[in-house]
Amino acid sequence: MEKVQAKLEIERLSNELNVHNHAYYVENDSKISDFDFDQLLLKLQKLEEQFPELADENSPTKRVGGDITKKFKTIIHRFPMLSLSNSYSKEEIIEWENRIKKSIETPIEYVCELKYDGVAIGISYKNGKLDKAVTRGDGTQGEDVTTNVKTIKSIPLQLKGDFPFDFEIRGEIFFPLESFKKANEERKLNGEQEFANPRNSASGTLKSQDSKVVATRGLDCFLYGIYGEDLDRKNLTFAHYEAVLKAKDWGFKTPNPKLNYIHKTSTIEGIMDFINYWDEKRATLPFEIDGVVLKVNSYDMQQELGFTAKSPRWAIAYKFKTERVETILESVVYQVGRTGAITPVANLKSVSLGGTTVKRASLHNADQIEKLNLHYFDTVYVEKGGEIIPKIVGVNENLRKINAEKVKYILTCPICNSDLTRKEGESNHFCPNEKFCKPQISGRIEHFISRKALNIDGIGAETIDLMVSKSLIKDPADLYDLTFDQIVNLERMADKSANNILIGLRESTKIPFERVLFGMGIRFVGETVAKQLAKAFKSIEKLTAASYADLILIDEIGEKIAISVINFFLDSENKKIIERLKKAGLQFEIIEKEISSNVLDGKNFVVSGVFTKFTRDEIKKMIEDNGGKNVSSISAKTDYVLAGENMGPAKLVKATKLSIPIISEVDFLSMI
């Protein structure tokens, strides 16, 4: 390549990488896969090596990250947070290990770790107390997210044991898959757009301006790197692996050797065994990884090997390739949600991806379609975003047919033909015809009868759709006007099934106010918010009369929720539905129960297992009747675990680890 041509190519690659850097680190929006990014970076690096005089001092090859957002205070790192060199081939790992052996003549130990797919964090401790938590940022400076990090329960606020007076520990904050799934279920119920993948969601959550939001998400963290200027007296300068084990003694959640999350070896065979094991087993983990990290164990050897301008020579990351397949985009359909949100979905020619057959992929919104520049019958690249959600990540434009028709986002609702709307600041288009658009009608009623709302037995989505199409129901109140003859005359409906629906409707009148309120489907009012509103206002009358100022004072109620609640009760149709549901006998106020005693006041219980004298629900009621509180998971704030037969082994281990008393059914009855 000629020098002039090389100069132009270096400028083009630098600009493109800077755009992707900004999108990934500042906007939390990954526009290309890690593999593609690293290939661009490698191409630029090779050109700069060939033409060093053309290399810019601010080249992306010399940077660790991107620009810093202005939402949080910027902090300069005491110790730079460098990135690692990435490799996608085992041959490169062998070359790295050979280079290490040429530089270090004595026997070498290596540490193999999981490469967690989350957000890098550096947490400073002074005299055993959490002082500051800072994101990696551009490697030289990051953002102060201390308030949010303090809500992550696996990160200790106070250390124990023989810890250094002043040091920093680093690791990765991530979104456990179970928490990610739960968060998306709640967002779906609330009519909000679902998170795309755990990594970006963890990053966005960590930078939330409301620490309460962070506290509810269930983020987790593994910590594994210790830095400080006066660590000799704590005997920490000997080796990385031993320091990780030592940090566990101080109260940190560190990678578990017994689970093979961290492994020490002295051979390249041991390294390859670790890589191969997790390449095969990573799908079994409760969190996401995108590779493994390899480090020289000895701190003295690390110092001897030193650093390049960008990364340490004593460490390297091996990244698993995200499985990508090509297939044909056959059509695009548009789904209407219960809130009227329009979601475009790509219909694909069937293709195998990650062990499953993929036929559809979400296109999210109009912006995504435009960004991909999609045309019908394009050959598209499909990946499983975050190993969970199939997504189209690009188009092979070389295979595009001549005169191919461009995919244009619809302007009207695919069901009722209403003109779509899009509010400023929102990514989705909406159908405003909420009273007469059938998917919205069905969606609201399906939400009303769902398990966490009215939990009406004997009736499901197909039955609701059939009733709506037959014009038997158009809102939740219509359910309580249904007769036996109307129900039994529906297709595939027998006498017993019809009776079960009527029984389920009668039983639903016993459902408490907070679940009825959740079932009303007020936008942004999820299960937890509904409980808070019911607890604060006690009745639907008081809630209806609540002002913006009244609402904003309630825990977890922000501006968006307050405005949504007010708008819901300003709608005359919603008021009529509530009045009809009242006449049907549904609970629209909290019935204050007289507590049997206050002997359990302030005590938190986790109930687990099968009991002989009472059902689990009866025991939970007795706990509340005597002033106690039921909690779903074990934490340091749990006072007792009430255990029956077949108690979950994980709960037993956690309770024992936290020294929480485990009591029997007989012990509990003695207490009350």
List pLDDT tens digits, range 625-639.
888 888 877 888 899
Neighbours of 286 (CB within 10 A): 9
pLDDT in tens, 30-54: 667 767 777 887 788 888 888 888 8
Q: Compute the distance between CA of residue 375 and CA of residue 222 in angstroms, rounded to an integer.
A: 43
What is the residue type of 512? Answer: P
CA distance 220 to 357: 31
pLDDT above 70 (res 593): no
Q: Which residue has the higher pLDDT, 583 or 322?
A: 583
* pLDDT for the residue 26: 38
Instruction: Residue 38: name the closest of 21, 58, 57, 55 by CA.
Output: 21
Compute the distance between CA of residue 390 and CA of residue 58 in angstroms, rounded to an integer: 36
DSSP letter, residue 195 = P
What mean pLDDT comes out for the span 235-243? Answer: 77
Q: Residue 492 above 70 pLDDT?
A: yes
**Residues forming a β-bridge with 348:** 329
- State residue 645's pLDDT score: 73
Residue whose pair of structure tokens reads 């929102």 in the numeric block = 426
pLDDT at 580 over 90: yes
CA–CA dist 64, 41 (Å, integer): 12
Q: At CB < 8 A and 24+ separation, what contacts does 256-261 make?
A: 261/113, 261/114, 261/222
| 498-556 pLDDT tens trace | 999 999 999 999 999 999 999 999 988 988 789 889 989 999 999 999 999 999 988 77
Q: Which tokens hold the place of 648?
A: 């979950």
Task: Please state which of the ranges 170-174, 213-217, 252-256 shows the lowest mean pLDDT.
Answer: 213-217
- Predicted confidence at residue 28, as pLDDT, reads 47
Least confident segment among 355-369, 382-396, 425-439: 382-396
Asked if 316 and 93 count as a contact pair (C-beta separation under 8 A), the reply is yes
Whether the per-residue pLDDT at 14 is higher than 90: the answer is no
Domains defined along the chain, listed by start: 3-62 (1.10.287.610), 74-319 (3.30.470.30), 324-429 (2.40.50.140), 438-583 (1.10.150.20), 604-671 (3.40.50.10190)
171 or 323: which carries more pLDDT confidence?
171
Residue 64: is its pLDDT beyond 60?
no
State the Cα–Cα distance between residues 255 and 590, nearest whole angstrom. 46
The answer to whether the beta carbons of residues 346 and 329 sit under 8 Å apart is yes
**Is the CA virtual torsion 369, 372, 377, 383 positive or negative?**
negative
H/E segment holding residue 155: none
Query: Does residue 478 carry a pLDDT above 70?
Result: yes
531 close to 568: Cβ distance less than 8 angstroms:
no
- pLDDT grade for 240, boundaries at 50, 70 and 90: very high
Report pLDDT digits (tens) over 441-471. Answer: 999 999 999 988 999 988 888 999 999 999 9
Q: Using CA atoms, how far apart are residues 156 and 65, in angstroms rounded to an integer? A: 28
Q: What's the pLDDT score for residue 326? A: 93
Model confidence at 70, pLDDT cuts 50, 70, 90, reads very low
Quote the pTM value: 0.53
pLDDT at 335 > cutoff 90: yes
Q: Please, which residues bridge with residue 358 across strands?
A: 351
Asked whether residue 305 carries a pLDDT value surpassing 80, the answer given is yes
Spatial contact of 430 and 343, defined as CB atoms under 8 Å apart: no
Contacts of 67 (CB under 8 A, 6+ apart): 21, 22, 25, 26, 138
How much is the average pLDDT of 555-562? 85
Please give the mean pLDDT across all residues of the chain: 87
pLDDT tier at 594, thresholds 50, 70, 90: low
pLDDT at 554: 86
Residue among 115, 295, 384, 391 flagged as catalytic:
115
d(CA 85, CA 66): 17
Which tops the pLDDT comparison, 609 or 401? 401
651 carries an active-site annotation:
no
